[in-house]
Structure 1
Amino acid sequence: MDAIEAELTRLTSKSNLSKALTNIDGCLELLQAARNQIAEDPDSAAKTLAMLQQTMNSQLEKVGSDHKDVYTGLNKFGKALDKKFKSASAYHSPRHDNIANKQPELHRAVAMHLMREGHFSVASHLLDEATGAGHPIAVPPSLEEDFRTLYSILDSLSGHDLNPAIEWAHSRAHDLEHRGSNLEFELCRLKFITLFLDALETGPEEAMQFARTEFHRFQQRHFRDCLQLFLAFTYRAGIAGMMTGKNQPKDVVNPAPYPYYNLFQNVEERWENIGKMFTSEYCGLLGLSAESPLFLAVTAGSVALPVLEKLRRITEDKGTEWTSHGELPVEIPLPSPRYHFHSIFVCPVSKGQTTEDNPPMILPCGHVIAKESLDQLAKGNSANAHLKCPYCPKECTLGSAMQVII
């Protein structure tokens, strides 16, 4: 990368168009002056044009020299890039074009990504152009409005205004609870913490009123957390001293001698996390992932391309070709578990790895086998067909087995 950085520095500092633009401006000034001279004294046109030609030739030579420096710098920078990043032109060939027949899906992914990123006008233009070309993109009409609402609430959260988010969470409380989400409580807890910290100077009335109004709905799932927040009022003076630095802890082992003081630490981190949590739960209720699938696919593809390019060169040198579908002969290391979406499981019966068409199935006894192995063990194809677990004496029906995501 040092060679690339050096060429880039040379390109931006020396091989740029600033000199060329200055010389071109000088040419324009000479032309303007000559035109004015001829307009004032038409008889001197021949002399003026002769002098102009001589001066312009000199200026044009400078412009050509400036352009030559720019092209030389671009050429060296391009060679440095080509030397560092090997070409993967084989993946541009029709033989490797896996999306040639999936343009509608690609356009939909791009439109969805633009909406997720808040670029609504660009997404709208893309949808209009696709429709005008006779290839409408299948995006729900309400999706744009849903994401506009999301970004409106996120803007409020960035300004430390929790009210729009809390109102939305209250309106979707049943759906959030069905998902097992803690979003509504986390929003209310952060609101209480904000009011409590403000109350250290003004008084606890507003925080207490908010707690009485909101926390009763969380008594079943978050009773202990709510109780701790209420009891923090008992130590309000001590916590206030700790927050302002007036009460410095004497015990190094226990730097927070006041109970519940830790509830009011790292508030800025809570604000950052609540925005991510809200986005995740909001998209989850829309049936969408928290992150853009296009972003994840491009990121994972960027990581995988060097490995795939090396595989391509090796197979070409050996005159072989990988023909299996749905798997690769090498492992693709991905940077984070968030890029793993498919089950990786080897069936203990067939000794083969499961696939999308042959997923892992869990039996009521807890043992897991592949679906094809399950069908082979079952005595019949109906849901009531009986089978015996190959690893324990328990029996079950075919319909009682469930697909498991590992």
Structure 2
Amino acid sequence: EAELPIDSKEEKPSEDLKTVIELYRKREIVAVIEFLEASKYKKEQPECTNLLFDLHRQHIIFLLEQNKDIKIKKDEALAYSRNLQPFASDRVDEISHIMGAVFTYSDTWKSSSPDFKNPIWRFRYKNLFHPNNWLVVESNLAKLVSKINSPVEVLLTIGAKAMPSMLSIKNVLTRSPLISSEELPISVEIPNPVHSTFTCPILKVQATESNPPIR
């Protein structure tokens, strides 16, 4: 509305986000992977490696769930699984789990099949084919490209990081002076901290660290 110019550095992630999400929702996973591999995101953000692994995994699942002959799609998934080799040193257990699903996959695993309650499916590989996996990867993909974290996620992350320190001094926290205090007895690093400014209604002076508001 203000017709202010948009910084090109801010506009580029928006364009990238639109591109990758459209490709992802069309299940053009290979194109998404190629985009990330060729972009700055892999170099600038370590979490991109984890996302690339998840994308490779989802593409294997996509290949298995195609409406093709069972042998053809298993061969395609098996051939594509070679792309997991770069992750072998860190993800050996996960890769073994995926390969087990590829080798033992059967169309009877589909929810519409009367054999859906197959024990192998229920207790070993069902989690790989859960539809929510697509939503989780899409969310992580959007977060990586947009570089925007949910406020709730930021709060949960900060709380999780603070918990070990809080537990280590839990005996001290039981002391009444600390319980009644509105501040934590430890320092918790918060990204982009924002504090409201208090102004004394009588003196008309703003509070500072050296002159905090007092009840």
TM-score normalized by the length of structure 2: 0.61
Aligned to 2:142: 279
1:257 aligns with 2:120: yes
2:9 pairs with 136, 139, 142, which one? 142
Q: Aligned-pair distance for 1:260?
A: 4.1
Aligned to 2:187: 360
CA contact (8 A) 1:195 1:207 kept: yes
Counterpart of 1:153, as a letter, is V
Distance 2:129 2:97 in 1: 14
Q: 1:163 to 1:342 in 2, by over 3 A?
A: closer
1:196 pairs with 50, 64, 68, which one? 64
1:162 aligns with 2:29: yes
Pairing 1:7-406 to 2, within 5 Å after superposition: 126-128=3-5, 140-171=7-38, 172-176=41-45, 178-179=46-47, 182-198=50-66, 201=70, 202-212=72-82, 214-236=83-105, 239-243=106-110, 245=113, 247=115, 249=117, 255-258=118-121, 260-267=124-131, 269-284=132-147, 289-291=148-150, 353-354=182-183, 360=187
Q: Aligned-pair distance for 1:148?
A: 0.8
1:350-401 deviation per Cα after TM superposition (whole angstroms, max 9, x unaligned): 956559xx98179xxxxxxxxxxxxxxxxxxxxxxxxxxxxxxxxxxxxxxx
Q: Aligned-pair distance for 1:163?
A: 2.6
Distance 1:151 1:184 in 2: 18
Counterpart of 2:77, as a letter, is A
Aligned to 1:315: none
**CA-atom RMSD in angstroms:** 3.9
Q: Kindly name which structure, 1 or 2, has the bigger radius of gyration based on alpha carbons.
A: 1
1:331-366 deviation per Cα after TM superposition (whole angstroms, max 9, x unaligned): xxxxx6766798899x97x956559xx98179xxxx
1:214-255 deviation per Cα after TM superposition (whole angstroms, max 9, x unaligned): 10111122111111211223323xx32222515354xxxxx5
Q: Aligned-pair distance for 1:272?
A: 1.8
Q: Tell me the matched-pair count.
A: 170
List alignment gaps of at least 5 residues for structure 1.
Answer: 1-121, 129-138, 250-254, 297-335, 363-406
Structure 1 stretches of 4+ moved >6 Å: 340-345
Q: Aligned-pair distance for 1:276?
A: 0.8
Counterpart of 1:187, as a letter, is L
Identity %: 11
